[in-house]
Structure 1
Amino acid sequence: MSPEPSPPRTRTVRGPRPKRGATDRTLIAVQELQDAPLAPLTTFRLGGPATRLVTATTDDEVIAAVRAADDAGTPLLIVGGGSNLVIGDKGFDGTALRVATRGFRLDGTGLELAAGEVWTDAVARTVEAGLAGIECLAGIPGSAGATPIQNVGAYGQEVSATITEVVAYDRRTGETVTLSNAECDFSYRHSRFKREPDRHVVLRVRFGLEDADGLSAPIKYAETARVLGVAPGDRQELATVRRAVLALRAGKGMVLDPEDHDTWSAGSFFTNPILDAGEYAAFVDRVHARLGAETVPPAYPAGDGRTKTSAAWLIDRAGFTKGYGAGPARISTKHTLALTNRGEATTEDLLALAREVVAGVREAFGITLVNEPVTVGVSLQDG
């Protein structure tokens, strides 16, 4: 049983550097906890404590807390909605900064979100406002500030298609910067922020949405089109699309529910593999040898002659079906791509299952799956 955290205390740190010509920095008070549990801040509900947990509710507080940690040479972990974190059982020896900023601003079709805004709530509000572009991203847990880092996507939409700018604190230069879409260097579940994980702290995300008279963006995902009864490329009423996506996600355990252990996960635990022509040909040969020449694996164009296949399909065909596992960490009973905490798991239980799946898929199909959530203090290569 984890020890009780110390009572919260207020610590004063220096705020952002003043504008040119000024000589002082404002003192900012931030709430701080010692030996603070991190598991309740993650959707897995896993992980040990942080040496220190700081909660920031304004951009200035975020910057001040980051600068204080950097100036002291203290390791820093940024925590938003906790939906993409796998934290080791030993916890985090450093400062965990919980970004709890709020801010939702619409200006015509332009949307600005503070990093701490709850993503799924923000999507709902854009649908209510009649703006299209992120309606198929309904139900995704986490905070707005995490979306550009992972280039979050689902059901035919990715945030990179609508993000216009990201405002971030650059830890290397000590300045607040505004990065254009191109400067974010987005790719499939990747971005500049993920390639340089210790450089930028996202403060605000700006989007350019579409006013299509209450209709959605063109439906791209075949499953969504089928459920809606439309053809790919058609539009549908925004609220109808959002409801359909939420129903699809709920059916796969991908909408948070504290009573449903299938949702005690990070959503999709592995990214869909992208293969070059040679890798794809070798993969098809393995599929035919294992499952028969008539078997056609999922294949989607990924640009530059590459092909994307389905991680969920690979996991299932390698023998890891829904509900697989006998311990406290198991594959979801609703979707093979989600690894779940059944209530009493440790992070090591989860990683043992993940490693078993990776090894099994590699042996069956010659493909090494890559974890989508960020690991803290552990990795799939350990153990």
Structure 2
Amino acid sequence: MIDQLKQKLGEVTENESLASHTTFKIGGPAKYFFEAKTKDDLVKALQTAEELKIDYFLLGGGSNLLVSDQGLDGLTIKQSNTTFKITDDKVYTESGALVVDVLDKTLESSLVGWPWAAGLPGTIGGAIRGNAGAYGKAMSDITESVEIYQKGKVNNFTADKLGFKYRHSVIKETPGMIVVAVNLKLKKGSTEEVKKDKDQVKIYNDRRENTQPLDLPNSGCVFKNIDLTKIKVDKAKVIKGLDITEEEYAEATKFDKLPVSYILDRLGLKGKTIGGAQVSEKHGAFVVNTGEAKAEHVIMLISDIKMRVRNELGIQLMEEVQYLGF
């Protein structure tokens, strides 16, 4: 198989450690590993995997992922395709570009409207797939269309066809739909508006530094916040379980979401540790790798947290982190 892959793709390595390719610094080896440096590379790799009938896995910036300790069979494709182009108020970017890099480049070109993305880890492709966002905004707010690979071909989908919801899209729920490039629609800003967005980016970055465990390997937020516009909770049970007043509940949920970090803090779960995996003492929605964490440790910790929250509050937490190789 390795000879066939090399014949079609060129440089393919074997038994590449995936820990070094994820922000969690966890994961076993990839049986076959290929780095796609262009959109054409990415499409060719996907077509090759399908033609040879081998499983494939996609890696972007490596955030929001937990890779099995046993690693991944088949072909792991690292998305390093980062071609980027600005035309007036529109931005074309390939899926492997980091969100923060695209944000910086758009501000340099006086395009405004998405300073909230300053804290988003990972690539544009991953951000679109999971409709990543912050501060009440999301990628769906600025996405015009997406180039998607599916069944050997690349087609362009307008944003309204992608079923964007909170941290969700049709792409995420449909196996074989792969983001290869994105067209964003921003706004040409005045000098004052550009300065305002740049100042806001700095504020968000400073806030992240002060509130998130950036000094330890992690995947980003492990759990989705509870969207109270879509999920019905037993308010009385939550208030009792968290040992808070109605006023404190109202304050915590004033944006129609019940933050997971608040829940875990009130339940005394910050700092809970299994093996090398720990609920961050700085931000309860993060699980950090304290140095020797295995995927098994993270899975056990997540399971314990979900059980505790379900038993005490009647709430089923949903993970934001994606599992690979399990």
The normalised TM-score by structure 2 is 0.92
Deviation at 1:294, TM superposition (A): 4.0
2:105 corresponds in structure 1 to 125
Counterpart in 2 of 1:242? 201
Gaps of 5+ in 1: 1-6, 14-28, 218-235, 302-306, 379-383
**TM-fit CA distance, 1:362:** 1.2
Segments of 5+ residues of structure 2 without an aligned counterpart are none
1:1-383 correspondence runs (5 A): 11-13=6-8, 29-171=9-151, 174-196=152-174, 198-215=175-192, 237-253=196-212, 255=214, 260-261=215-216, 264-275=217-228, 279-280=232-233, 282-288=234-240, 291-294=243-246, 296-297=248-249, 298-300=252-254, 307-321=256-270, 323-325=271-273, 327-378=275-326
Structure with greater proportional helix content: 2
| Pairwise CA distance, 1:289 | 5.8
Whether the 8 Å CA contact 1:136–1:157 is kept in 2: the answer is yes
1:153 Cα deviation from its structure 2 partner: 0.2
Q: Secondary structure at the match of 2:232?
A: helix
Measured after TM superposition, the shift of residue 285 of structure 1 is 3.3
1:324 positional shift: 3.0
In 1, the alpha carbon distance for the partners of 2:178 and 2:3 equals 24
Decide whether aligned partners of structure 1 residues 277 and 268 sit closer, same or farther in structure 2, where only a CA change above 3 A counts.
Answer: closer
Letter of the 1:115 partner, please give it. Answer: S
Is the partner of 1:11 in helix, strand or coil?
A: helix
- Which amino acid in the other structure matches residue 151 of structure 1? N
Q: Secondary structure at the match of 2:58?
A: strand
Instruction: Give distance in 2, aligned partners of 1:376 and 1:319.
Output: 29
Structure 1 residues 85 and 148: CA distance shift in structure 2, 3 A:
same
1:128/1:239 contact within 8 Å kept: no
Q: Is the 8 A contact 1:287 1:295 kept in 2?
A: no
Q: What is the SS of the residue equivalent to 2:96?
A: coil
**SS at 2:221's partner residue?**
coil
Alpha-carbon distance, 1:318 to partner: 1.8
TM-fit CA distance, 1:118: 1.8
**Paired residues of 1:31 and 1:56 also in contact (CA < 8 A):** no
How far is the alpha carbon of 1:10 from its aligned partner?
7.9
Write the deviation string for residues 140-183 of structure 1: whole angstroms up to 9, x where unpaired. 22111111101010123211100001011112xx2210010101
AA partner of residue 287 (structure 1): I
- Amino-acid identity (%): 26
The question of whether the paired residues in 2 share the 8 Å contact of 1:135 and 1:216 is answered with no
Shift in Å, 1:283: 3.2
Indicate if the aligned counterparts of 2:18 and 2:71 stay in contact, CA closer than 8 A: yes
1:123 match: secondary structure: helix
Q: Residue 240 of structure 1: SS of its match in structure 2?
A: helix
Q: Which has the higher contact order (CA 8 A, sep 6+)?
A: 2
- Per the alignment, in what secondary structure is the counterpart of residue 188 of structure 1? coil
**CA radius of gyration, larger in:** 1
**Distance in 1 (alpha carbons) for counterparts of 2:240 and 2:70:** 44
CA 1:353/1:278 → structure 2, altered by over 3 Å: closer, same or farther? closer
Residue 109 of structure 1 and its aligned partner are, at CA, apart by: 0.7
Contact 1:283–1:366 (8 Å) recurs in 2: no
Which amino acid is the alignment partner of residue 336 of structure 1? G
**Whole-angstrom CA distance in 1 between matches of 2:31 and 2:4:** 14
Contact residue 88 and residue 376 of structure 1 kept, 8 A: yes
> In 2, are the aligned partners of 1:214 and 1:238 still within 8 Å (CA)?
no
TM-score, with length taken from structure 1:
0.79
1:10–1:122 CA distance, 2 compared to 1 (3 A): same
User: Could you tell me how far apart the structure 2 residues matched to 1:35 and 1:188 are?
Assistant: 36
Query: Whole-Å Cα distance in 2 between the matches of residues 267 and 205 of structure 1?
Result: 23
Q: Secondary structure at the match of 1:270?
A: coil
| Structure 1 pair 289–200 and aligned structure 2 pair: CA distance change class (3 A) | closer
Q: Secondary structure at the match of 2:32?
A: strand
Distance change in 2, residues 1:324/1:176 (3 Å): same
The alpha-carbon deviation at position 12 of structure 1 amounts to 2.9
- The question of whether the paired residues in 2 share the 8 Å contact of 1:139 and 1:254 is answered with no
CA distance in 1, matches of 2:153, 2:130: 23
Distance in 2 (CA, whole Å) between partners of 1:166 and 1:299 is: 33
SS at the partner of 1:296? Answer: helix
The answer to whether the 8 Å contact 2:213/2:280 transfers is no
- Superposed CA RMSD in Å reads 2.3
